[in-house]
Amino acid sequence: MRIVVCVKHVPDIQSDRTLGADGRVVRDGGDGTLNELDENAVEAALELAATDKGSEVVALTVGPPDAEDAARRALQMGADAAVHVLDDAVAGSDVFATATVLAAAIRRVGAAGPVDLVVTGMAALDGLTSMLPVALAAELDLPALTLAAEVAVDGGAVRVRRELDSASEVLSAPLPALVSVTDQANEPRYPNFKGILAARKKRVEVLTLADLGVDPATVGTAGARTQVVGAAARPVRENRVLVTDDGTAGLKLAAYLVERKLV
Amino acid sequence: MSAPLSGPVLVLLDHHDDAVRPSVLELLTAARSFGAPVHGVWFGDGLEGALDALAGAGVEQVHRVGGLGDAAHLAAPAGDAVAEVATLARASALLVTSTFENKELATRVGVRTRAGVVVDADDVALEDGRVVAEKTVFAGTWTTRCVVTTPLAVVALKAGSIQAEPAPAPSTPQVVDVHVTPSGQGRVATLVERTERPASVRPELSEAQVVVAGGRGTNGDFSAVEELADVLGGAVGATRVATDEGWIGHDAQIGQTGVTVAPRLYIGAGISGAVHHRGGMQASGTIVAVNSDPESPIFEIADFGIVGDLFTVLPQAAAELRRLQG
Ligand SMILES: Cc1cc2nc3c(=O)[nH]c(=O)nc-3n(C[C@H](O)[C@H](O)[C@H](O)COP(=O)(O)OP(=O)(O)OC[C@H]3O[C@@H](n4cnc5c(N)ncnc54)[C@H](O)[C@@H]3O)c2cc1C
Ligand SMILES: Cc1cc2nc3c(=O)[nH]c(=O)nc-3n(C[C@H](O)[C@H](O)[C@H](O)COP(=O)(O)OP(=O)(O)OC[C@H]3O[C@@H](n4cnc5c(N)ncnc54)[C@H](O)[C@@H]3O)c2cc1C
């Protein structure tokens, strides 16, 4: 089985994340990491690959120079190869443009041998739209089995279980297909010493839009269907009250809620 | 009033049997503010029972999609059907409630129609003939405004973001039946099994005006959290620790990998305030936190913080509120 796993480099969510005047994420802080939820995607890809001898897992990222770290992290976890699409024209892409670029890169990986499965995380912890998996599947004309809490491949078909707000579902589709996995799907492995050493010997292949045959005018800010026209840090909450319970805090809470007309 | 839209505003009419979800009335309120005719798209049966509510909200036309069966639950066939309706109706905007399923549907519509899509919006308005959406990002610490520059603008609005209001004058909704056939074979997922969760007696978490949430500090005993939620007529939420422990269903999880809530009032008890959790509740109106550790990060964002034991504070507050309510 050949599996491509999509990994995104995002600002560390524990850091102070900011937006620039252009409404774009400031990505030069140096405190970026592999999107935590993509660790679940890598783990799922590795586990599925382990069920089928001779499988290959290719990690794919689209992003600025720092994004190589995300690809490297996937290699350390055990991915066999990595591809990094690096091109200034990609900056400012919306979901659809990002999907176009990822799809072109996956087709290129597919030229060396068919790709059976594309695995993504459930959301990137910066954009957090959870739109990309569906957009990418549509670009590649693959069935999308999203938000998998469980995933299995058997007899040329993939089957997932997912927990939605109002229902629990089981979906299945013949391969090739795209799956997005949630943080419930597995417990991501921590790269061990052997994995870290092995990753050093692996190369991250860097590709540009020209390599992929993608017209720069269709992506990035130029191709975006939405435009950020304003971005501002939200004011910190004022008039905050902190009380220590002296046996009457519950009464104070009730009074606060009544006074604020919240009941 | 700025330049009008050229075509109608289409609203996805999420429903449970024949009752539209409360958030749909919010979408319809936003849709009317655009000054263009308001249309709805309805999947499956039950529309007759909802027509009164839709008339009260000023819906002029309802496109009823039949023939999809279970596939109506999947983003690709449902999104393709909505794209078809939007194209036929020459819609200028499509509004949906921002849930995981609807965000996927909206994405599919975007792929099919080349529409720009903004999800998780808190507000939407028409400015100079353009659809502008507002959204809070980065765990509620930033606000952004996005203009959709395509002829069809798709916006997924979070439930509870705006106040639903009835139309100034009721309409007489025309029902138009649209029959779509699920697209071909092969490249689609099939729904093997679907088990609806029994509806809770409490309000839906994502739509509730009041949410009381419990974390590890409950140690598995949610009775105090539930009691306060019931006095306030609110929904019960939880942290991932609590859902992972199996103390409460996974659908109660608030946060980046769970439900995003923005109620008028959020009360968190025995919750430390990890950034993953904050991402799902920081945009709430008023935040109350009860935690025995004064150093808990949740206090940094709480309007009203109480350092104390949730098992004494919550029941006392519930009893007092009951007394005041008489
Ligand atoms: C705060 C913020 C809000 C935004 N809102 C919108 C919006 O409403 N509409 C819109 O069209 N665009 C929006 N964008 C732009 C959008 O985030 C980017 O286009 C992004 O590349 C894809 O979306 P996502 O990060 O939300 O990914 P998600 O859909 O949340 O990510 C799901 C999975 O897709 C994969 N993936 C995503 N991006 C990459 C990548 N670059 N390389 C490899 N794999 C990847 C990962 O496996 C990830 O787990 C927003 C961006 C930001 C920063
Ligand atoms: C990729 C990823 C995604 C995640 N997504 C989510 C998500 O969507 N939602 C989410 O919630 N978490 C999520 N998490 C987990 C998150 O990081 C935290 O671990 C979690 O939110 C902590 O839950 P908690 O506050 O209940 O527990 P803790 O952090 O253990 O806090 C318990 C608190 O209870 C207090 N306490 C104990 N006893 C009492 C008492 N008797 N009275 C009052 N206070 C008491 C303690 O002082 C403590 O502050 C995610 C983690 C990862 C890595």
Q: A2-223 in CATH: which number?
A: 3.40.50.620
A251: helix, strand or coil: helix
- Whether A123 sits inside 8 A of B187 (CB atoms) is no
Reported as type and span, the H/E element at residue B133 is strand B130-137
> Ligand 1: residues whose CB is within 6 Å?
A 6-8, 25, 35, 37-38, 41, 60-63, 93-95, 98, 102, 120-121, 123-124, 126-133, 226; B 117-119, 137
- The full set of domain ranges for chain A reads 2-223
Q: Which of B73, B100, B120, B196 to substitute to test the interface with A, most A CBs within 10 Å? A: B100
Q: B210-325 in CATH: which number?
A: 3.40.50.1220
Domain with CATH 3.40.50.620 in chain B: 9-187
Q: Count CB pairs under 8 A between chains A and B.
A: 257
| CATH 3.50.50.60 is held by the domain B9-187 | no
Quote the pTM value.
0.92
Exposure string over B251-288, b if 16+ CB within 10 A, otherwise e: bbbbbbbbbbbbbbbbbbbbbbbbbbbbbbbbbbebbb
User: Is B216 among the annotated ligand-binding positions?
Assistant: yes
Q: What ipTM does the predicted assembly reach?
A: 0.92
The predicted pLDDT at position A205 comes to 97
CB B62 within 8 A of CB B40: yes
* Mean pLDDT, all residues of chain B: 93
Domain with CATH 3.40.50.1220 in chain B: 210-325
Distance CA A62, CA A6 (A): 9
Distance CA B262, CA B304 (A): 17
Q: Which pLDDT band holds residue B228 (cuts at 50, 70, 90)?
A: very high
CB A3 within 8 A of CB A119: yes
A residues 62-81 near B, CB within 8 Å?
A: none
If one residue of A39, A181, A183 were mutated to test the ligand 2 pocket, choosing by the most ligand atoms within 8 A of its CB, it would be A183
Give per-10-residue mean pLDDT for chain A (263 aa): 97 79 72 92 98 96 95 97 97 95 98 96 91 97 97 96 91 97 96 94 96 96 91 85 96 96 92
Distance CA B154, CA B134 (A): 13
Q: What is the pLDDT of residues B120-140, one digit of tens each?
A: 999 999 999 999 999 988 877
Per-residue pLDDT at B4 exceeds 80: no
Distance CA A80, CA A60 (A): 11
Mean pLDDT in residue range B225-242:
97
CB A22 within 8 A of CB A47: no
Q: Which pLDDT band holds residue B274 (cuts at 50, 70, 90)?
A: very high
Mean pLDDT in residue range B249-277:
94
DSSP A260: T
| Euclidean distance between the first and the last CA atom of chain A, given in angstroms as a whole number | 57
Q: Which pLDDT band holds residue B184 (cuts at 50, 70, 90)?
A: low
For CA atoms B242, B278, A41, A34, the dihedral sign is negative
The predicted pLDDT at position B312 comes to 98
A residues 100-159 near B, CB within 8 Å?
A: 122-123, 125-126, 128-131, 133-135, 137-139, 141-147, 159
Ligand 2 centroid–CA A7 distance in Å is: 26
Q: Which pLDDT band holds residue B1 (cuts at 50, 70, 90)?
A: very low
B residues 276-295 near A, CB within 8 Å?
A: 276, 279, 286-288, 290, 294
The predicted pLDDT at position A1 comes to 95
Distance CA B234, CA B288 (A): 14
How far from the centroid of its chain's Cα atoms is residue B25's Cα?
11
Distance CA A82, CA A250 (A): 56
A137's tokens = 């599947």
